[in-house]
Amino acid sequence: MAPHNNSYPSQHDLPNVLILKLPPSFVIFGEHFFDSAKFRFLKAYESSLPLPQFLLAHAQSVQAILSSGGAPVTADTICLLPNLRLVVTTSQGLNHIDLSECRRRGIAVAGAGTIFSADCADSVVELLIDVLRKVSAANRFVKQGLWSSQGDYPLGSKLGGKRVGIVGLGNIGSEVAKRLEAFGCSISYNSRNKKPSVPYAFYPNVGELAANCDALIICCALTDETYHLINKEVLSALGKDGVIINIARGPIVDEKELVRCLVEGEIRGAGLDVFEHEPDVPHELFALDNVVMSPHNAVFTRESFEDLRKIVVGNLEAFFSNEPLLTAVNLDDQPHFSG
């Protein structure tokens, strides 16, 4: 029998990483997806206790939280955990974390970095082509046996030469621009600041951007400033020939106004991966052939999840080894979202 190796701590001796809600990666790949020999998970969602009681019971032992977009890390949660020093998120966005409270308490935040940018950008192109060329609608037309009885399907519109306005020229927005330039599109953008290093036209006002493009692509973060940024005025400026694509966050768009514009034909179409009240989707959209939708899965590829596993485990192991985080978020440069 091999001698006992005392160099590896038992599970009970490992530091706790709190998980508030079952993350999508556990559903897809199993609950050992982020396992490590340097920490263990404390799963609040498995407890019968109300969350505040659970947090109070484990308040002294929790040093880190692993959070997904569906599990908000609020100021109330943070205040119950006096030894919390790190929040690691599995999502691209940070609007589910109270960054102001983290900054005030000196709690570090590690994000997903740029690992999802390529998949998000690919999804933008996919949705835009689908809306313009009526791919999904034509697929339904054929599968319903309508081709033989109704003849040829209505014409679509080409992507090449379209004027594309990007709201938020960060990592994702830049990847979108790179792809659509290859299709011969003309790129312009709106962002918090003008970027001197890019050749695209900058519009400080989103309404002006919408008025000067054929397709408006939403790639910005959800903050107090961007909540319902895409409102009635912006949609009106986009006009009857305009298309909107949203792979960012649902509440950036005033969904009621968007639905009204689509139903009444005030804009040409929409490609939507995100919605304001997920998983609830406005039923009015179901019958519209000019609307293409996906269930907030723009980044759901096997390759990106494997990259995510490495980033999450790497950040947590770095933290518990007193080493620099792999994808630390600069909290001094993050706008606030109050939810």
- Distance, in Å, from the CA atom of 271 to the CA atom of 128, rounded to the nearest integer, reads 6
**Residue 177 in contact with residue 202, Cβ under 8 Å?**
no
Residue 90: CB partners within 8 Å, gap ≥ 6? 23, 24, 25, 66, 67, 68, 69, 112, 308, 312
- 278 carries an active-site annotation: yes
In angstroms, the CA 303 to CA 292 distance is: 24
Q: 157 burial class (0-12, 13-18, 19+ CB within 10 angstroms)?
A: middle
**Active-site option among 249, 255, 268, 276:** 249
**HSE-up (13 A, CA, CB side) for residue 133:** 11
| Alpha-carbon span 103 to 78, nearest angstrom | 11
DSSP 230: B
**Catalytic position from the list 278, 309, 317, 336:** 278
Residue with tokens 């299709």: 183
What does the angle CA 213 – CA 91 – CA 28 come to, to the nearest 5 degrees?
A: 115
Q: What is the 3-state secondary structure (H, E, C) of 254-284?
A: CHHHHHHHHHCCCCCEEEECCCCECCECCHH
Distance CA 177, CA 53 (A): 48
Residues annotated as part of the active site: 249, 278, 296
